Amino acid sequence: MAAPHDAEIRKDVQTYYGQVLKKSADLQTNACVTTARPVPKHIREALQNVHEEVALRYYGCGLVIPEHLENCWILDLGSGGGRDCYVLSQLVGEKGHVTGIDMTKGQVEVAEKYLDYHMEKYGFQASNVTFIHGYIEKLGEAGIKNESYDIVVSNCVINLVPDKQQVLQEAYRVLKHGGELYFSDVYTSLELPEEIRTHKVLWGECLGGALYWKELAILAQKIGFCPPRLVTANLITIQNKELERVIGDCRFVSATFRLFKCSKTGPTKRCQVIYNGGITGHEKELTFDANFTFKEGEIVEVDEETAAILKNSRFAQDFLIRPIGEKLPISGGCSALELKFSKIQKPFDIITDPFKLAEESDSMKSRCVPDAAGGCCGTKKSC
């Protein structure tokens, strides 16, 4: 049974998202509207197919759409009005399935309202989406079984739950071996004082319950996940003078991490890998996280943890993986090491601090000069 404090927080959050917020424009910070990296074309197109009312109810802080989704079973923790679920349902296809769970009944009702609309929009014979009214830290009570999903996603929701460890533990339980928790959330630069942790508006705005960023790795290790992989990070700005006063020197960042539930029997040495290419939307280049980008046919040296994840997850068939010193064969019988245009990309210092990544990203943006098409530094406009 939840402690009175936890029960009170749940009630406040349900009120905030069920009654106070009617659309994303009602938010008082940018915590739940920050963008991540440029959006691939196939995802932009999927977003455009989502019903307008569902899109208006979006309060996420990133894009929780990983790669290689065909035929996957995906669980969305805190699915809200269903935007991410409906995007994902297009990408997994008719043989895949997406389940959304949310504790706010009004949000679930909005999402369920458009099940038939999206099924017909996508040309599916039957809907591949299910919505459940329940708590993300109590997936068992909602009927979600052990090792039943390939991927779990969450978009700016775990911070709203007092018991973060229980949420991560439940995600670990329902993931299949090799599965992944891919999630955006809000993190703090220091341990939050009581004034912030008990502030109702700051809880609703995803700040009052934010986790100190260093704690994520501690919790992940305790539960059994591989070390967190930082993907993107953006600094959060406060658009309210009163909230700024309460926050004081504390800083907040929205960040996307990926956590893998992998076997410990993978590679125990550094390896060289080659991306085979072909993943939808990432045919020639796959940005795996903030530290590794894999280009088709290019040799990349990776650390032990990265090698183990690639070998034991759904990405296993997308890479050639060999210990350093052993030749990497490619189609045609030649060794990749003998390719004239091959390039060995060696790893650099691994970035784990989302504040460091966000600051570096801001610094790069400030040096960019938009081109005539609205892009930056020669890149195309992302959306």
Name the pLDDT band for 346 (thresholds 50, 70, 90): low
Name the pLDDT band for 263 (thresholds 50, 70, 90): confident
126 pLDDT higher than 50: yes
pLDDT in tens, 173-219: 999 999 999 999 999 999 999 999 888 888 878 899 999 999 999 99
Question: Which CATH class for the 264-326 domain?
Answer: alpha beta
Contacts of 295-299 with C-beta under 8 Å, sequence gap 24+, read: 297/330, 297/336, 297/339, 297/342, 298/274, 298/342, 298/343, 298/345, 299/272, 299/273, 299/274, 299/328, 299/336, 299/337, 299/342, 299/343, 299/344, 299/345
pLDDT in tens, 356-373: 999 998 777 666 544 433
Q: What is the mean pLDDT of residues 130-147?
A: 97
When mean pLDDT is compared across 72-76, 208-212, 330-334, the lowest value belongs to 330-334
1 pLDDT higher than 70: no
- The CATH code of the domain at 4-261 is 3.40.50.150
What pTM, to 2 d.p., does this model score?
A: 0.84
Name the pLDDT band for 330 (thresholds 50, 70, 90): low
Question: To the nearest whole percent, how much of the chain has pLDDT over 90?
Answer: 65
Q: Cα 223 vs. chain centroid, distance in angstroms? A: 19
Indicate the domain borders of the chain. Answer: 4-261, 264-326
Q: What is the mean pLDDT of residues 16-36?
A: 48
Mean of the per-residue pLDDT values of the chain: 84
Predicted local distance difference test score (pLDDT) of residue 234: 92
Predicted local distance difference test score (pLDDT) of residue 14: 52
More confident of the two residues 32 and 255: 255
CB 196 within 8 A of CB 202: yes
CB atoms within 10 A of CB 103: 22
110 pLDDT higher than 90: yes
Name the pLDDT band for 88 (thresholds 50, 70, 90): very high
Q: What is the mean pLDDT of residues 298-305?
A: 93
Q: Which residue has the tokens 């600051």?
A: 359
382 pLDDT higher than 70: no
When mean pLDDT is compared across 260-274, 283-297, 303-317, 363-377, the lowest value belongs to 363-377
Close Cβ partners of 322 (under 8 Å, ≥ 6 residues apart) = 271, 272, 273, 328
State the sign of the Cα–Cα–Cα–Cα dihedral 239, 245, 251, 252: negative
Q: What is the mean pLDDT of residues 30-59?
A: 79
Contacts of 53-56 with C-beta under 8 Å, sequence gap 24+, read: 53/81, 53/110, 53/113, 53/114, 54/81, 54/82, 54/83, 54/86, 54/110, 54/111, 54/114, 55/83, 56/23, 56/24, 56/81
Predicted local distance difference test score (pLDDT) of residue 383: 28
Predicted local distance difference test score (pLDDT) of residue 375: 37
Distance, CA of 205 to CA of 227 (rounded, Å):
28
